[in-house]
Amino acid sequence: MKCITLVFDDGPQDPICEMADKIKKFGWRSGFAVIGQNINDETLPMLRYVIDNGFQLVSHGQKHLHMEKIPTREEIEEEIYLPIKTIKEKLNYQMTMTRLPYLSENTGALQVAKDLGLPVLGWGMENGKDWDPSVTPEMITEAVLDTVCDGAVGCLHVRTNTCKALDVILPELKDRGFCVVTPEELFKRKGITPPVGVPIHNINDFLT
């Protein structure tokens, strides 16, 4: 079976729970990339909900900074690691992967993630720039369905129009014989140890 993972960035915020519910309806799971400074008393229950439903959380930076603009290694480490620490403390959940803000491939940041033992999730298919509110659900749907392929790590966002696009994307993926799983599960199914130090766009790139 063809399998992909989808990781939705910039949570926790609405409509994260609705997106999780739509995915779960197919018996599928996905990942959510969490910005540390968005974690508060109002959003913590959303994260609790998605974790309890089998979804995976990954670090998306404390302040969603451009890695290139962070002056020191220590501050890069803080940016990547702080959300992991917070989620461990608040929800007793261990995040084991990261997606760098702006899909950075900054060498210093990749090295820090490697030293922390964190695989860096990239993007193995298009998203139609779904972070932009002027992009319609139809544009998002077309971008995803035109570029989806086995093993892809999808990068989408927790946004209203992305949530709407799932109504067409998910049934179509099912019709085409795909399944959608968490990043951890995708590696498990393919029998691949998640690599560190390089961005992971399609996990089939790491088949030996």
Q: Which residues bind Zn ion (CB under 5 A)?
A: 9-10, 101
Of 10 and 185, CB closest to Zn ion = 10
| Structure token digits, residue 202 | 């399609």
Of 22 and 157, CB closest to Zn ion = 157
Task: Specify burial of residue 141 (Cβ count, 10 A radius: 0-12, 13-18, 19+).
Answer: buried
Q: What is the DSSP letter of 191?
A: T
Min CB(101)–Zn ion separation in Å = 5
Of 9 and 185, CB closest to Zn ion = 9
Of 67 and 112, CB closest to Zn ion = 67
Min CB(60)–Zn ion separation in Å = 6
H-only helix segments in 53-198: 73-91, 107-115, 137-147, 160-175, 183-190
Min CB(66)–Zn ion separation in Å = 11
- Cα separation of 132 and 125, whole Å? 17
